[in-house]
């Protein structure tokens, strides 16, 4: 799918990788939706004229890569009305519900998502629809169903139940058959399971090994919903690639994760978002469990930062959900800075690191030649103050303007 080339000039530009932003810069995106050049405004303007690109001026605004949210459920089904709505929806209704969330996610500046558990393989259909331009939404990398033991975490939401090494091997292959880009497995309890606790071990070593070996044979990474350190240590020893949540990490475990290159997606918002839970009718037992996990969860993130564990940003909450005067995505990134990351580290974790997690460096999450022309426009530089993300007012996906609050991204708007 092609469109007219687009040049954004008169901007401060951060490319998702560099240690600082560049003033008086610009970005040129070709008709294939990929970046042709990043450089000074004058250089970009000259090259834009050569290829007949539309030119817009950011008017001194800040341009950074589109955000990559690494822990998303577009059919989120928390206990209560949210779960009832998803369970009561037929396949068509589910797909439309997810498409609506995908559109809102894109408009929130998230141009790529990693889905880590969806129902009925609607995520596969939505991914294809977005790729061909039938519906608006972020680039999708998806795990299909999350894998869990009988009665395990997620069994009543997006999980596929299995038992024994052969059962988990088959369940993994079923996700791969459907087109999974990665595999997600629930190896312990969590916040949303009524009949479990966060530290409940849920898979045997044989079961975990079956998932890992099968996925790795197919060239797919495996990430684990996990809470307690002992369970995670067993999985890391078996070759786990990444940890989601990690509610109870220790300094020793984080040192091991860093040594072995095991990624961490903290989803720190989920243990401090009472307002969101109340607004969506989540039962009190889950709210109390989530908030009760908060202090230890925060320590886990700090341990990971101190140890140098590779971190990718993910919310678990809907990326676009209203939260503390902004979106869940922006608030997650702010929390990461509050916990000890520098704004630069948090921004990398929210852009280029998301592509690196998938082994797709340079394909998206960075403003470099050949990468997808995904970018957002802000009023201020988030490398100076991470809360500048709250000033987002423009979103470009593959060179197409999909959000333009001020009308400044229309060709000729600056004339």
* CA angle in degrees (0–180, nearest 5) for 105-153-227: 85
Which pair of structure tokens corresponds to residue 257? Answer: 């994760």
Residues 224 and 293 in one domain: yes
Burial degree of 340 (CB within 10 A; 0-12, 13-18, 19+): middle
Question: In the prediction, which pLDDT does 158 show?
Answer: 85
Distance between CA atoms of residues 20 and 404, nearest Å: 25
Residues 60 and 71 in one domain: no
Residues 75, 154, single domain; the answer is: yes
Residue 412 maps to a domain: no
CATH number at residue 48: 2.30.40.10
The residue range of the domain holding 393 is 6-65+365-404
Average pLDDT over residues 7-27: 97
| Residue 198: inside a domain | yes
Its sign, for the CA torsion 314, 348, 251, 263, is positive
Q: How far is Cα 203 from Cα 148, in angstroms, rounded to an integer?
A: 8
Residue 413 has pLDDT above 70, yes or no: no
Domain assignment of residue 157, yes or no: yes
Tokens found for residue 230: 């002992």
Q: What share of the chain is helix, strand, coil (3-state, %, to 5)?
A: 40, 25, 40
How far apart CA 12 and CA 274 sit, in angstroms, is 36
- Whether residue 80 is contained in a domain is answered as yes
CA 97 – CA 90 distance, rounded (Å): 11
φ, ψ dihedrals at 164, nearest 5°: 80, 160
Quickly state the pLDDT bin for 415 (edges 50, 70, 90).
very low
The answer on 318 and 373 residing in a single domain is: no
Total structural domains in the chain?
A: 2
Asked whether residue 328 is domain-assigned, the answer is: yes
Q: CA-CA distance, 19 to 98, in Å (whole number)? A: 36
- Does residue 332 form part of some domain? yes
Res. 260: pLDDT tops 70: yes
Extract the tokens encoding 175: 């996700």
CATH number of the domain within which 136 lies: 3.20.20.140
Q: What single-letter DSSP state applies at residue 393?
A: -
In a domain, 249, yes or no: yes
| Cα 399 from Cα 286, distance rounded (Å) | 42
Which of 322, 341, 357 is at the close of a domain? 357
Residue 63: closest CA among 366, 385, 371:
366
Q: Calculate the average pLDDT of the chain.
A: 96
The pLDDT tens digits for 148-177 are 999 999 999 889 999 999 999 999 999 999
Q: What's the sign of the alpha-carbon dihedral 314, 296, 338, 342? A: negative
Instruction: Kindly state the average pLDDT of the residues 219-225.
Output: 98
Given the DSSP bridges, would you call strands 146-149 and 322-323 parallel, antiparallel or unpaired? unpaired
What's the pLDDT at 3? 84
Q: Indicate yes or no: pTM above 0.85.
A: yes
The answer to the question of residue 414 being in a domain is no
């Amino acid at each position: 799918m092609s469109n007219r080339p687009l040049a954004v000039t008169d901007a401060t530009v951060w490319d998702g990788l560099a240690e600082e932003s560049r003033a008086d810069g610009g970005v040129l995106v070709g008709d294939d939706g990929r970046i042709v050049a990043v450089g000074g405004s004058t250089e970009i303007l000259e090259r834009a004229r050569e290829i007949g690109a539309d030119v817009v001026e950011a008017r001194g605004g800040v341009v950074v890569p589109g955000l990559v949210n690494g822990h998303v459920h577009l059919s989120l089904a928390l206990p209560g009305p949210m779960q009832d709505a998803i369970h009561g929806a037929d396949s068509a209704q589910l797909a439309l519900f997810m498409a609506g969330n995908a559109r809102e996610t894109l408009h929130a500046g998230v141009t790529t998502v990693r889905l880590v558990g969806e129902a009925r393989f609607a995520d596969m259909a939505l991914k294809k629809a977005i790729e061909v331009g039938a519906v608006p939404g972020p680039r999708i990398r998806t795990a299909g169903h999350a894998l869990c033991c009988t009665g395990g975490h997620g069994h009543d939401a997006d999980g596929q139940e299995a038992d024994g090494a052969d059962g988990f091997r088959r369940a993994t292959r079923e996700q791969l058959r459907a087109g999974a880009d990665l595999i997600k497995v629930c190896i312990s309890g969590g916040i949303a399971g009524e009949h479990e606790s966060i530290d409940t071990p849920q898979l045997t070593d044989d079961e975990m090994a079956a998932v890992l070996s099968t996925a790795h044979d197919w060239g797919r990474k495996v990430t684990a919903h996990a809470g307690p350190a002992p369970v995670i240590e067993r999985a890391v020893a078996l070759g786990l690639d990444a940890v989601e949540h990690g509610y109870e990490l220790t300094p020793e475990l984080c040192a091991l994760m860093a040594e072995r290159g095991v990624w961490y997606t903290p989803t720190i918002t989920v243990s401090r978002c009472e307002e969101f839970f109340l607004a969506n009718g989540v039962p009190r037992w889950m709210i109390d469990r989530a908030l009760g996990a908060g202090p230890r969860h925060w320590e886990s993130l700090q341990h990971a930062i101190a140890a140098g564990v590779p971190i990718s940003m993910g919310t678990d909450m809907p990326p676009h959900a209203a939260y503390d005067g902004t979106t869940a995505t922006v608030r997650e990134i702010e929390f990461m800075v509050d916990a000890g990351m520098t704004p630069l580290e948090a921004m990398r974790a929210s852009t280029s690191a998301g592509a690196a997690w998938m082994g797709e460096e340079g394909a998206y999450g960075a403003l470099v030649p050949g990468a997808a022309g995904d970018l957002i426009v802000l009023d201020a530089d988030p490398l100076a103050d991470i809360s500048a993300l709250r000033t987002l007012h423009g979103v470009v996906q593959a060179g197409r303007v999909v959000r333009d609050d001020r009308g400044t991204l229309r060709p000729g708007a600056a004339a």
